[in-house]
A and B are shown apart, each in its own frame.
With several copies, the nearest count.
Chain A
Amino acid sequence: MSGPDVKYAHALRAALDRALADDPRVVVFGEDVAVAGGIFGVTRGLHATHGDRVFDTPISENLIVGMAVGMAMRGLRPVAELQYADFVFSAGDEVFLKAATWRYSHDGAVDLPMVVRMACGGGGFGPEHSQCTEAYLMHTPGLRVAVPSTPADAQGILTAAIRSDEPWFVLEHKYLYGTSGPVPEGDHVAEPGRAVIRRRGEHVTIVAWQDMLRRALAAAEVLSDDGIEAEVLDPVTLDPFDLDTLVGSVRRTGACVVVEEAPVTLGVGAEIGALLMEHAFGWLDRPLVRLGIPDVPVPTAEHLVAALVPSVDDIVAAVRRQVG
Chain B
Amino acid sequence: MLPAELRLRILRTAVLTRRFEERAARLARAGAIPAAIHLGTGQEVGQIAALAALRPDDPMLYGHRGAGYWFARGISPATVLADIAYREGGTNRGKGGVMHVVDPARGVLGESGTVGGNFVLGAGIAFADRQLGRDTVTIVFFGDGTSNRGQFHEAANFAAIARLPLVLFCENNGWGLSVPASVSTSVDDIATRAAGYGMPGVVVDGCDPDAVFAAVAAAAARARAGGGPTLIEAKVPRIPAHFLGDKEHYRTDADRQAAVDRDPLPRLVADVRARGLLDDDGLAALEAEVAAELDAAFDDVLARPLVAPATAFEGLYP
Contacts and interface: CB of A to CB of B under 8 A. Distances in A.
Interface of A: 25, 27, 31-32, 35-37, 39, 53, 56-63, 65-76, 78, 86-87, 90, 93-94, 97-98, 101-111, 124-129, 141-142, 165-166, 294-297, 299-308
A102 B184 contact: no
Given A102-B110, A109-B103, A36 B250 contact: yes
A293 B103 CA distance: 28
B94 interface: yes
B56 interface: no
B123 A97 contact: no
Given A59-B176, A74-B59, A306-B309, A105 B110 contact: yes
Contacts, number: 251
Given A107-B92, A301-B97, A60 B114 contact: no
A89 to B, nearest CB: 8
Given A301-B94, A304-B94, 9 more contacts: A36-B249, A58-B185, A60-B157, A74-B132, A78-B124, A126-B99, A126-B100, A166-B318, A299-B312
Contacts of B76: none
A76 B134 CA distance: 12
- Chain A: interface secondary structure? loop
Given A106-B102, A110-B109, A59 B95 contact: no
Given A66-B123, A107-B92, A93 B117 contact: yes
A300 B250 contact: no
A294 B115 CA distance: 27
B148 A59 contact: yes
Contacts of B313: 294, 296, 307-308
B183 A105 contact: no
B223 to A, nearest CB: 16
Contact of A124 (B34, B155, B249): B34
B144 to A, nearest CB: 9
Interface string B90-117: 0111111111101110000110111111
A56 B278 CA distance: 46
B128 A75 contact: yes
Contacts of A296: 312-313, 316
Contacts of B312: 296, 299, 304-305, 307-308
Contacts of B123: 63, 66-67, 70
